Every structure is written in C-alpha cells, then in structure tokens.
Structure 1
C-alpha cells in the first residue's frame, strides 16, 4: 500500500467491523538483539468510527499502523479487515502521513488524480472527481498550481484530497496535521471530520496532540511505553457536533478528558 493510491474494498462479510486486531505483537532484530515494540495489543475499529491513538514518543505508534496495513508482518496475533485475515495490503484503505509526499512536477490536480490513474479510471472521470474533492477542501482555483507555490496547509489539503478521492473505506492517519500552525490545523481537522463523517468512513488516527485526539475522535486509546500495550480507553462524549473543532474544544468535559489522558501518558515520569 502507498498513500498515493488506494482501492475500494468489495465483498466484505456482512456486518464485520472494518478492522479487528487480536493479540498482535511485533519486534525488531537490531544487530542480533530482539527489540520488542508492540506487545499483545488488541483493538476494534467499527464502521463510521474515528479512533485516535496516543502514546509516549517512540512507543511504536507508526510501527503499529504499518503492521495493521500489511507493510510489516506481525510476529504473533491476528489482523482482520472486514472479517478476513490480512493478506498483503488490504483494499479500501487510505494511508496518509505527516509528510504530504506530493510530486513536485505535477500540479495539485494531477497529484490528486494519481491514484485514480494507477487504478485505470478514465481521464475525464478522474479529473472531474479530483476537481470536486479539491473544491470540497477549499482549494477551488488552485488545481493548476504546483506544490512549490502552495502553503504547507494547502499542500496537506491536496494530500488529503488525493487520499479521499479514491473513496477508501478506512483512513489510517499518521500525525497528518502535526506540522501545521494551529489555525490551519483546526480548519483541516474540521474538514476531515466533516468529510469522513458524512460518508461514514472509519478512521484510525495516530497523534501526539491530546486536544486533537479528544476533539476529533469518538474513542481515544492510550498506549504504554515499549513494548506498547493499551493502557486506557476513553469513550468521548462532548455533547456537540463532531465536525467543529472550536465547538469541541469549548464543550463541557473537554478539558477533563485532556487532563485524564495526559495523566495516563505519564510523560516525563
């Protein structure tokens, strides 16, 4: 799998959650020394659910995502996508990273179209779908701009459009907003929440930003240090629409969730 190209899954068993992880572990061999990274981790991602994962720096969050999507093989355990054991890289999954990975010789429109081109979608259809997605993400009028002429926030919107235009069932997001300024981050978080919730997509978000996790997610999973395991799970109920990041941050209970998750992370102790 690559963040530039995804395909929509088909033929999934009826009623199966998009992702089920059972007792997965993963270690690395570092010069003959086995370094455990993930230790006996289980989770479920339901249809239409946004789940955020937070944990101490270096605890293995990116390794976890890479294992879940088949870029790395788990040592033990079981990973099922739509009820089927993982075999290679699953269909219907979009993977977006912190770096936008835009191709500098392609315009914004052509970058968004890339995955569709790889899948053989007719050119006119690919162009129309990509224009619509750019417009939905506030980039009307920028289709013919090259990445070097775009701000960091605009480039990340193009990367998000490139992921969403393929209509993935599930989005794996690895700190995609971490490098953005606060205002731009809030705007793109709101756009992302609106688009994925309208389409009932599922999202697994890795982030180091607790406020981002609480404002975006239906559920926040807190990981331990390596070998990482699940330390706590929070069901987030803010009593407000979950597409407005300012409203979410101003809601009753938001600060309490943030304080409790921060305490669970046990940072610096």
Structure 2
C-alpha cells in the first residue's frame, strides 16, 4: 500500500482531479504505487502491464476504495499491445490526459559478459517500449494536449560497473524524452522524465538480501541516508503530470535523496 493509502480526498480534489492517466508497467513496485497515488489524487486510471493477475488484484483493491480504475494486460515491447493500452483507455474513459511509462527490466553483468539475447531483450523493453508508448500516447493527445512522464534512473546520466546494458537503456530514455518534448511542445504535450535512485522496490529488496554490504555502501552515498519509497517516486511523477507543472517540459527530475548531487 502507498504511504497515504486511506487518506481519501473529497471528490473533485487532488493534483490530478478530473484527469485520465495511463500507467504502463503498473503491476508492481513504483508503477503499482503510482496507480494508487494517481487515483488518490483524483485521476481515473488505466493500468497496463504483463501480469494479468497482479493487475486484476490491484484494480480490485483500488475499485474497492471507490476509485475509477481499469486494467489491460500486454507486452510493452509489442506495438499492437501498446496501441491496445491506449485504445482501451480511450474506450473506457473517453480521452487520455496523462501517461506514466514505467515498464522496465534490469540486466546485471559487464558489457562483455552480456549475451546478445539479453541485450536485445532489455533494449526491446526499456527503449523500444518507451518509444512505442510515446508514439501511441502522442497520437492520442495531438488534438487536446497532455502530459507524459517516463521513468529513467540516476543510471541514465552516469556509469556504474556491471550495469552497462541497463544504464545504456536509461540514457536512451532521457534522449527520447528530451526529443519528444521538443517535437510535441507546440501541440501542448509536455514530456518529462524521473530518475529514481535507490528505491525500496521488490528488486531492491532482493538485492539487499543477496548483498547487504553493497546496499549499505550505496545508501551511505545518499545524502538523506536512506532509499526512497515507491510512494515518494510516484508523488514526483504525479506532480509532473499535474497542471502544477504546466510550464515544465523536457526535464530530468532526480528522485534520489541527493545521490546525484
């Protein structure tokens, strides 16, 4: 559950009141908490990811709290699936005001040890998937404008041993975001990117169990001396999607406790 779960807002209030938002990669971690935060901030939310069971459970949870939510399952690296994510949103809610493109996978290993198959897969999800989302979302927003937030990482503007393929994809997400902001600003479409640092996701929990000393070293380099929560990351995305950020586009926003400072 998100940190502010249960703190229901009156109808018609919140950062995203009255907006329709698509969350891609919303079945777990940052994406799932983003769906919760966006709903709690007043948005109608379509949640998309590969895991139909996890999506159904999250949708039932949020609908049970009185939120307007729906879900659709598919693979972000498949163009037809991504087009269906957007079409399902338009069919269910009538329009698309915002999108949070959060689907992604990790890949550990030095560049000379990564297999071609693994490299192709991470590029397909983390780079091609973001491009496919941008393409379909922009097409849906051409007439009315909107706001899009992509998820990169602090690894998108620095290097780190053993994560070369992953970090290359996160650099690419920043490049796609900045280009999309330039291309689509005249249409009233804002495109920004968040760059989380160490965050309490299931992946981070697994890393802590496998190599606690490495996690402690990483957290010692964070000025706030802690990993971020998924809710803190989702709150940053909610602000960028909202009208409070109406003149913010092409920005890379670190959500990292000062790690990249």
TM bin, normalised by shorter chain, reads: 0.3 to 0.5
Higher relative contact order, structure no. (Cα contacts within 8 Å, ≥ 6 residues apart): 1
TM-score by length of 1: 0.33
Q: Which has the higher strand share?
A: 1
Larger Rg: 1
Q: Which has the higher helix share?
A: 2
TM-score by length of 2: 0.34
